Amino acid sequence: MNYQTNISFGLVNIPVILNSAIKDNNVTFNLLHKKCDTRLEFIRYCPHCDTEVKPTDIVKGYEYKDNNYITFTNEEFQKLKSDNEKSMEIIAFVNINEIDPVYYDKSYVLSPNKSTKAFELLKEALRQSKKVAIAKTYLHNRLYYVVIRFGYENMLLNTLYYEEEVKLKQEAHKKEFTEAELKMAIKLVDSLTNKFKPETYKDEYQNRIKDAIDKKIHGQKIKKVKGKKTKSIDDLYKALEASLKVKNAKK
């Protein structure tokens, strides 16, 4: 993705380029015909006309009741967008700890397009103020509210889910545990507390798939991965205590 837009910061316009900050680590597979290993093709088929449908003959339809549709053209969708679609308007600055991580969607990195002075000024303002900007913009034909923040010496952008998209309910607090169990749980939390180091978390499953691909290419068999054996302790306090002992023994 290489998307050009402008950050609107008061009366200042900052041309920027938006690129994805995330690389998909998943190994991709093609679907083949089991009989001959030929890659399958997917066609758009209309059962009413009993024919394949070309992309130019496809429209988007909304089913407002069973088997009844209203259709929209691309031109009609364009009419619903505002004139400043290609801009990113900052509407507020907030403390980042006010935003629950559940609202974060995709991550992007922003880089300056043409002049860098205003871009670097905003980046430094975010760094020193320890605030993040809330802005709104169109991406992939959808209006998003986004967070613009300083991180990893870059200007980063995160799209946000809307409040109505987050399916969380306020659960009633039930205290069915004892104070002794709580203290033991906090001790276990403390013993497992460490610095967040993302480089230590590896996608073991995808790495095993890559290794299996190499083995199959070279005619080797795939062996079953053995999991760790765990035993269950019914008494919650004893389970926490045993967990703490195991952790301390490893230290």
Question: What's the Cα-to-Cα distance from 19 to each of 22, 57, 146, 157, rounded to whole Å?
Answer: 9, 32, 14, 9
- pLDDT per residue over 157-183, tens digit each? 999 999 999 988 777 777 788 888 888
The answer to whether 147 and 133 have CB atoms below 8 angstroms apart is yes
- pLDDT per residue over 98-122, tens digit each? 999 999 999 999 999 877 889 999 9
- Higher-scoring residue by pLDDT: 228, 190: 190
- pLDDT per residue over 225-251, tens digit each? 887 776 666 777 888 888 887 777 666
pTM summary value = 0.77
Q: What residue type is assigned to position 44 of the chain?
A: R
First to last CA, the chain: 45
Residue 150 to residue 146: CA distance in whole angstroms? 13
**All structural domains of the chain:** 1-30+41-164 (2.40.290.10), 177-189+234-251 (no CATH)
